[in-house]
């Protein structure tokens, strides 16, 4: 059934079902006449089965990130116009870099398009990505994924099945808006992902110096019946917490549980922030991302305010967003911000076209008293820097879309996957079957057979939320949400 709007395309996705679509298109691991994929110079072998061959077009921040995530488990070829960047990839990653134009048949043939299972067009140009996928589809049966920004292309693709020769289209601006709106729903969190049809949430919180849980043990902080402390991210490392593990200031704590328990923990981590959903949201910048954030908030019953400096753009936004108060002004004007009481907002989202202006607006809003600031950062390398100098949550569209494509390519039986800290770990939802190591056994017993780094975070059984404890017996058909360290994911996933 065709979604009623483009926003319906971005409800929580079942990646198992998407991969089934890919397989039906003769995509991933399709059966060939000789039952194997021909070898390549960078081919991997897993138990005698050839790796999936992926061609990535564009080695910018998005393409390079996807290549880095996939090079250990897939046979990756990257096409890049820039000869220096192509040469650098050959040395920095276990990939084969081909210099050339990804829209050209000759370049695709040089990259081995006849042996490719998947083509990912990830350049910064929508039209280039569409043409590259169309060309690849015309000369091969590879499954094609296109990264785009313009939602009009997404609408066209949605109205016509596999338009442009594209099997799966990923819209950067919409994905970024969705990521921002999830944080609006839980203001104290850095990241939020829903699982099991919304019955389960995964959330990541940063523990501040003044947080009540700082310097507490996990046992002391764990006062919630339906919550599991899945991991602590400390100095770039993933630690599976024990009861005696001390939560230190600066730690990022990953929890999995019912939405209510996650909300209670949010209040425990940051009691000074607004409990529940942020009510007063100000969006700065009527960019595509700013527009979609406002539209998504309207659909959820919010009445946000949006600041846009351009007169014509502000007028169009006011017409298109009936539930949003659109103000025409320069958001870096401190007198305007004071006059409009921006400091009273629960959250300010800076979605201007300039990273520097987004930083400035965020710092001004914080200075005026805004509880929470979110900034859109186009340059992924700036994310940590911006958060260090005072931005509460920095959202990188390039990182968001790279993670979306990466988790789509993940193999296994996952219903849904969320990547943690750009693939240091993953939270995975599976529907347990009779062959799973978890089935018909107490969790304590089944986890002993798995390497360290796996945490059962939540279980749903129909409409029932089951709190996972050591003696909980998992049943066939249960949906189980697990935290898995990336270092062991490939070993663990087939057993689930």
**Sequence-separated (6 or more) residues with CB below 8 Å from residue 167:** 21, 22, 25, 27, 137, 143, 144, 145
The answer to whether the CB of 186 falls within 8 A of the CB of 169 is: no
- 14 pLDDT exceeds 50? no
CA distance 343 to 368: 4
Indicate the SS3 state at residue 177.
helix
The answer to whether the CB of 454 falls within 8 A of the CB of 482 is: yes
33 versus 201: which is more confidently predicted?
Answer: 201
How is the chain split into domains, by residue range? 6-172, 281-395, 410-495
CA distance 226 to 280: 29
The answer to whether the CB of 227 falls within 8 A of the CB of 219 is: no
419 versus 214: which is more confidently predicted?
Answer: 214
What does the pLDDT average to over 449-468?
A: 93
- Fold match between domain 6-172 and domain 410-495: no
Residue in this structure with the two tokens 């850095």, named with its chain if needed: 190
pLDDT tens column, 235-255: 888 899 999 999 999 999 999
Count CB atoms within 10 A of the CB of residue 442: 15
Nearest residue to 326 via CA among 372, 302, 296, 294: 294
What backbone phi and psi angles, to 5 degrees, belong to 331?
-70, -5
What confidence tier does 28 reach under pLDDT thresholds 50, 70, 90? very low
Architecture per CATH, 281-395 = 3-Layer(aba) Sandwich (3.40)
- 478 pLDDT exceeds 70? yes
What confidence tier does 5 reach under pLDDT thresholds 50, 70, 90? low
Q: What is the CA radius of gyration of the chain?
A: 23
CA distances from 233 to 120, 193, 253, 266, 385 (A): 30, 17, 6, 17, 17
pLDDT tens column, 309-352: 999 999 999 999 999 999 999 999 999 999 999 999 999 999 99
CA distance 452 to 433: 22
pLDDT tens column, 63-111: 998 998 888 778 999 999 999 999 999 889 989 999 999 999 999 999 9
Identify the pLDDT of residue 42. 39
Identify the pLDDT of residue 162. 67
Identify the pLDDT of residue 276. 59
CA atoms within 13 A on the CB side of 491: 11
The answer to whether the CB of 253 falls within 8 A of the CB of 207 is: yes
Q: What is the mean pLDDT of the chain?
A: 86
DSSP 369-390: T-SEEEEE-SSGGGHHHHHHHT
Identify the pLDDT of residue 494. 84
Q: Assign domain 410-495 to its CATH superfamily.
A: Regulator of K+ conductance, C-terminal domain (3.30.70.1450)
What does the pLDDT average to over 471-475?
A: 95
**Sequence-separated (6 or more) residues with CB below 8 Å from residue 75:** 37, 40, 42, 43, 44, 50, 51, 52, 53, 54
15-19, 177-181, 281-285, 295-299: least confident range: 15-19
Residue in this structure with the two tokens 């930083």, named with its chain if needed: 359
- Dihedral sign for Cα 378, 379, 380, 382, please: negative
Indicate the SS3 state at residue 449.
coil
Region at 383 (left for phi over 0; alpha for psi -120 to 50; beta for the rest): alpha
Count CB atoms within 10 A of the CB of residue 412: 17
- How is the chain split among helix, strand and coil, in percent rounded to 5? 35, 25, 40
39-48, 74-83, 224-233, 284-293: least confident range: 39-48
Identify the pLDDT of residue 7. 57
The answer to whether the CB of 282 falls within 8 A of the CB of 348 is: yes
Count CB atoms within 10 A of the CB of residue 456: 23
pLDDT tens column, 130-147: 999 999 999 999 999 999
pLDDT tens column, 375-416: 999 988 888 888 889 899 999 999 889 888 877 776 556 788
State the first-to-last Cα distance of the chain, in angstroms, to the nearest integer: 31
CA distance 92 to 240: 30
List the strands of the sheet with 464-466, edge to edge: 414-420, 425-431, 479-485, 454-461, 464-466
CA distance 475 to 439: 5
Question: For the domain bounded by 6-172, which CATH number is listed?
Answer: 3.40.50.720
CA distance 480 to 200: 10
pLDDT tens column, 34-54: 333 334 333 433 333 356 899
The residues that bridge with 55 in the sheet, in sequence order, are 77, 119
């Amino acid at each position: 059934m065709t979604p009623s709007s483009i926003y319906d395309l971005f409800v929580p996705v079942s990646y198992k079902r998407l991969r089934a679509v890919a397989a039906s298109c003769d995509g991933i691991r399709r059966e060939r006449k000789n039952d194997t994929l021909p070898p390549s110079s960078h081919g991997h072998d897993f138990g005698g089965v050839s790796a999936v061959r992926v061609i990535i077009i564009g080695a910018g921040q998005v393409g390079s990130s996807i290549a880095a995530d996939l090079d250990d488990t897939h046979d990756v070829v990257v096409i890049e116009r820039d000869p220096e960047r192509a040469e650098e990839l050959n040395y920095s990653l276990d990939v084969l870099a081909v210099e050339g134009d990804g829209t050209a048949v000759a370049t695709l043939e040089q990259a081995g398009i006849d042996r490719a299972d998947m083509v990912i067009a990830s350049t910064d140009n929508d039209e280039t990505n569409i043409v590259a996928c169309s060309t690849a589809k015309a000369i091969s049966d590879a499954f094609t994924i296109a990264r785009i920004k313009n939602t009009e292309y997404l609408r066209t693709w949605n109205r016509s099945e596999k338009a442009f020769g594209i099997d799966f289209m990923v819209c950067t601006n919409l994905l970024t808006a969705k990521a921002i709106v999830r944080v609006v729903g839980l203001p104290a969190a850095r990241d939020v992902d829903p699982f099991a049809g919304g019955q389960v949430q995964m959330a990541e919180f940063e523990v501040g110096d003044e947080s009540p849980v700082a310097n507490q043990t996990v046992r002391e902080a764990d006062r919630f019946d339906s919550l599991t402390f899945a991991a602590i991210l400390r100095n770039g490392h993933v630690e599976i917490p024990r009861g005696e593990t001390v939560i230190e200031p600066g730690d990022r704590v990953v929890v999995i549980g019912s939405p209510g328990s996650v909300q209670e923990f949010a209040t425990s981590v940051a009691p000074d922030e607004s409990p529940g959903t942020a009510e007063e949201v100000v969006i700065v910048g009527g960019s595509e991302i700013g527009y979609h954030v406002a539209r998504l908030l309207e659909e959820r019953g919010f009445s946000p305010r949006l600041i846009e400096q351009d007169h014509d753009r502000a007028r169009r936004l006011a017409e298109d967003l009936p539930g949003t108060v659109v103000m025409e002004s320069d958001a870096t004007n401190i007198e305007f911000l004071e006059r409009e009481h921006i400091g009273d907002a629960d959250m300010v989202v800076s979605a201007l076209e300039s990273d520097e202006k987004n930083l400035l607006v965020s710092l001004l809003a914080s200075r005026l008293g805004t509880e929470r600031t979110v900034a859109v950062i186009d340059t992924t390398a700036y994310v940590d820097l911006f958060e260090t100098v005072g931005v509460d949550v920095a959202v990188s569209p390039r990182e968001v879309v790279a993670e979306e494509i990466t988790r789509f390519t993940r193999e296994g039986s996952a219903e849904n996957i969320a990547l943690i800290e750009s693939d240091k770990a993953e939270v995975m939802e599976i529907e347990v079957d009779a062959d799973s190591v978890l089935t018909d056994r107490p969790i304590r017993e089944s986890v002993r057979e798995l390497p360290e780094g796996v945490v059962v975070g939540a279980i749903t059984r129909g409409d029932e939320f089951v709190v996972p404890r050591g003696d909980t017996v998992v049943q066939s058909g249960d949906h189980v949400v697990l935290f898995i360290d990336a270092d062991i994911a490939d070993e663990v996933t087939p057993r689930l």
